[in-house]
Amino acid sequence: MPKAKLNVKLLDLTSEPLALIYSACRQCYSEQFAGDIFEKIKDNKEKQAEFIKKIVASGHESPLEHVKFTFAIEGVSRALTHQLVRHRLASYSQQSQRYVKESDFDYIIPPSIEANPAAKKEFEKAMDSIQKSYTRISGLLAEKGLSGEAANQDARFVLPQASETKIIVTMNCRELLLFFKHRCCSRAQWEIRKLAEKMLADCRRYLPLLFSQAGAKCVSLGFCPEGARFSCGRFPVKKGK
């Protein structure tokens, strides 16, 4: 039952993303066919960049939905993915606890527990106990003729939210910007914030024009919308909050 570490890998990014956004936006206001617009603009990177800066500044974000990123993620807890899938404008493919037997499940230890020897000892004791219970339950079900996925789907009920999982996530750029606004904030839960920061680093690396200023809401607003009680102090609190 080893401790799992976060690993994020960018699997795919829409080819010619800026030309695609440019063509999508131009189609809204042009009599031309977007296919022709795309062919004319795809090699003019400077014109694409100049135009898209204006698009982003104007708040016209729907063309950004045509460009997507796909990430492979491992070393995260079930607690994290329960939060992640609340972002509904996305596609997910997650490792199944029904078809994948958790005979020696990995788990995530929260930093606060990791830093507290007594708490860490109790946590690891609980993980070990759950693993033994899972194995015993699987064995008892097998004695009654249940095995494979039939046994897994019921034995998994004892597994903790700390158990490690793997998931593939695809989000378009508009949804990613919203995801980062919420999950890069200091108030976000530590694990999903760490994931969001790694995803944002990839987005900035491959599409800096859209993501260089992306992040928590305060980055784009220039002030903290959370109020004095919850502000981390990075930006001033909006007056009246």
Residue 157 burial class via C-beta count within 10 angstroms: exposed 0-12, middle 13-18, buried 19 and up = exposed
91, HSE (Cβ side, Cα atoms, 13 Å): 7
pTM over cut 0.75: yes
Mean pLDDT calculated for residue range 114-138: 97
Mean pLDDT calculated for residue range 12-33: 94
pLDDT score, position 114: 96
pLDDT score, position 1: 62
Residues 64, 210: contact at Cβ < 8 Å?
yes
pLDDT score, position 230: 86
- Name the class of domain 7-93+164-221: alpha beta
Query: Residue 215 and residue 180: Cα distance in Å, rounded?
Result: 5
Q: Where are the domains of the chain?
A: 7-93+164-221, 109-158
Is 183 annotated as catalytic?
yes
Query: Residue 50 and residue 172: Cα distance in Å, rounded?
Result: 21
- Is residue 241 predicted with pLDDT exceeding 60? no
Quickly state the pLDDT bin for 106 (edges 50, 70, 90). Answer: very high
Marked catalytic residue, from 183, 187, 229, 234? 183
Residues 237, 228: contact at Cβ < 8 Å?
yes
